[in-house]
C-alpha cells in the first residue's frame, strides 16, 4: 500500500467520522428542540387548564409518594421530595438540554477536547428522557383538555355506580343536560370531589313532596333509582320535612345521588354554580365485567 493510499484512507475515515458526528449533532438539536417543546407545554398547561389538573397524577403526587424505602418525620422531608413529580421531569429536561448543548458547543468550538464516546452515552440517555417527556406531555394534554380517569369512593351513586368503580370523566364540552352524571367540587379550598346526577338546570324550581321529586310542578320519572328509595328533604334541627322547595338562579345546578338515603348532595350542600362542575361521567372502565356506558 502506497503512502497516497494511506493518506486517502485516512481522509476518508476522517470524513466519515465528521459526517457521522454532524448527523448526530443535527439529530441531537432536533431532539433538544422537541424536549424543550414538551417542557414548555407542561409548564404552560396550568395557565390554561389548571382546573382539570386536579385529576392529573403527575401534578398531584410528589416524589415522597414514590419513595417507599425512606421514612421521614412529618414536615422534615427534603424540599425536593415534596415537589410534584412533574417539576422533577421539567427540571431534568431543562438540565439535560443544557448539558447536551454544552457538549455540542464544545464539539463545534473545541473539537480537540470533544469526547465522542461520552457524547454518544449522553445522546443515548437523552433519547430515553425525551421519550418520557413526550409521553408525559401527551398524557397531560389529554387529561387537561379531553378526559380524566376517576375512582368512585363511596356508595352514594348505587345502583348506577359502586364503590371503587373506575370511570372516565369527559370535559371537552361544558354543556350539561338533565340526568347527566357530573363531577362537582363543593368547596374550592378542599380536594374532595363528588359524582352526582344532574337534576335541576338553571331557572328550574324543584320540589320534594313526600318522597317524590317534582320539577317545575311536574312529577319526575326516575328509572335509575332503586324502587325502594324515597327522596327525602334535608333534616333541619333534627326534623325531616315532608315537603321542601329549591329554586335555581340562572347559573345554578341541582344534583343528587342515586342512592338518595345515603347521599350528600344539593339537598344539604346547596346549588352548584357552573364553575364548580368538572365534567360528565359517561363510561365505566373497571371492573372489567361492567365496562361500558353508564346512564
Active site residue 249: no
Of 148, 196, 263, 266, which residue is the catalytic one? 196
Which string of DSSP letters, residue by residue, matches 94-153?
Answer: HHHHHHHHHHHHHHHH-GGG--HHHHHHHHHHHHHHHHHHHHHHHHHHHHHHTEEEEE--
Q: Residue 195: what are its φ and ψ, rounded to 5°?
A: -105, 120
> In this structure, are strands 218-219 and 272-273 parallel, antiparallel, or unpaired?
unpaired
Active site residue 110: no
The two counts, helices (H) then strands (E), for the chain are 6, 14
Q: Residue 122 corresponds to which cell in the numbers above?
A: 449522553
Of 38, 156, 263, 266, which residue is the catalytic one? 156
CA–CA dist 145, 166 (Å, integer): 19
Active site residues: 156, 196
Amino acid at each position: 500500500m502506497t503512502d497516497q493510499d494511506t493518506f486517502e484512507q485516512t481522509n476518508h475515515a476522517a470524513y466519515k467520522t465528521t459526517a457521522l458526528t454532524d448527523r448526530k449533532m443535527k439529530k441531537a438539536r432536533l431532539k433538544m428542540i422537541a424536549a424543550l417543546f414538551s417542557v414548555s407545554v407542561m409548564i404552560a398547561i396550568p395557565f390554561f387548564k389548571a382546573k382539570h389538573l386536579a385529576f392529573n397524577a403527575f401534578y398531584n403526587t410528589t416524589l415522597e409518594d414514590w419513595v417507599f424505602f425512606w421514612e421521614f418525620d412529618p414536615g422534615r422531608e427534603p424540599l425536593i421530595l415534596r415537589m410534584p413529580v412533574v417539576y422533577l421531569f421539567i427540571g431534568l429536561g431543562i438540565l439535560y438540554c443544557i448539558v447536551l448543548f454544552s457538549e455540542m458547543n464544545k464539539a463545534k468550538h473545541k473539537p480537540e477536547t470533544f469526547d465522542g464516546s461520552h457524547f454518544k452515552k449522553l445522546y443515548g440517555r437523552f433519547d430515553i428522557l425525551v421519550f418520557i417527556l413526550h409521553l408525559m406531555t401527551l398524557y397531560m394534554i389529554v387529561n387537561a383538555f379531553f378526559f380524566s380517569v376517576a375512582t368512585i369512593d363511596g356508595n352514594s351513586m348505587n345502583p348506577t355506580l359502586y364503590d371503587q368503580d373506575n370511570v372516565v370523566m369527559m370535559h371537552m364540552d361544558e354543556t350539561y343536560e338533565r340526568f347527566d352524571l357530573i363531577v362537582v367540587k363543593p368547596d374550592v379550598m378542599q380536594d374532595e370531589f363528588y359524582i352526582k346526577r344532574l337534576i335541576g338546570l338553571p331557572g328550574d324550581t324543584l320540589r320534594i313532596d313526600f318522597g317524590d321529586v317534582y320539577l317545575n310542578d311536574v312529577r319526575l320519572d326516575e328509572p335509575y333509582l332503586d324502587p325502594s328509595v324515597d327522596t327525602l328533604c334535608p333534616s333541619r334541627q333534627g326534623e325531616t320535612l315532608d315537603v321542601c322547595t329549591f329554586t335555581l338562579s340562572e347559573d345554578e345546578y341541582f344534583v343528587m345521588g342515586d342512592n338518595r338515603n345515603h347521599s350528600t348532595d344539593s339537598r344539604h350542600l346547596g346549588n352548584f354554580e357552573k364553575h364548580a362542575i368538572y365534567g360528565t361521567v359517561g363510561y365505566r372502565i373497571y371492573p372489567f365485567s361492567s365496562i361500558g356506558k353508564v346512564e
